[in-house]
Structure formats: structure tokens, C-alpha cells
């Protein structure tokens, strides 16, 4: 993982990770909402 990251400045890398994390958490939240509506747990593929 460190090999490809060398070309990016730390700030850009941080921004990218932040964006990815936000997207990931958003997916998790949507899944949890769905779980509450249906009443049965949904197991995400990426878990």
C-alpha cells in the first residue's frame, strides 16, 4: 500500500481516506436503517 501512496502529498492522501471513510460509514448507516425497517439483519458484502 505504501508504494503507490508515495506520489501523493499527505494532505491529499488524508482527504482521500476521509472521503472513503465517509462513503463507507454512509453505506453502513443506510444498511442499519434498512435493518430497522425490515426487522431482519442484512449482512453487507464488504463486511
With 60 as the cut, is the pLDDT of residue 3 above it?
no
Query: How is the chain split into domains, by residue range?
Result: 9-33
Determine contact, residues 34/42, Cβ cutoff 8 Å: yes
Quote the CA–CA distance of 1 and 5 in Å, as a whole number. 7
Identify the DSSP state of 9: -
Residue 26's pLDDT band (cuts 50, 70, 90): very high
* Residue 18 vs residue 4, higher pLDDT: 18
In this predicted structure, what is the pLDDT of residue 36? 79
Amino acid at each position: 500500500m505504501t508504494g503507490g501512496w508515495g506520489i501523493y502529498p499527505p494532505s491529499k492522501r488524508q482527504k482521500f481516506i476521509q472521503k472513503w471513510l465517509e462513503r463507507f460509514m454512509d453505506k453502513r448507516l443506510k444498511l442499519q436503517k434498512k435493518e430497522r425497517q425490515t426487522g431482519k439483519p442484512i449482512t453487507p458484502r464488504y463486511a
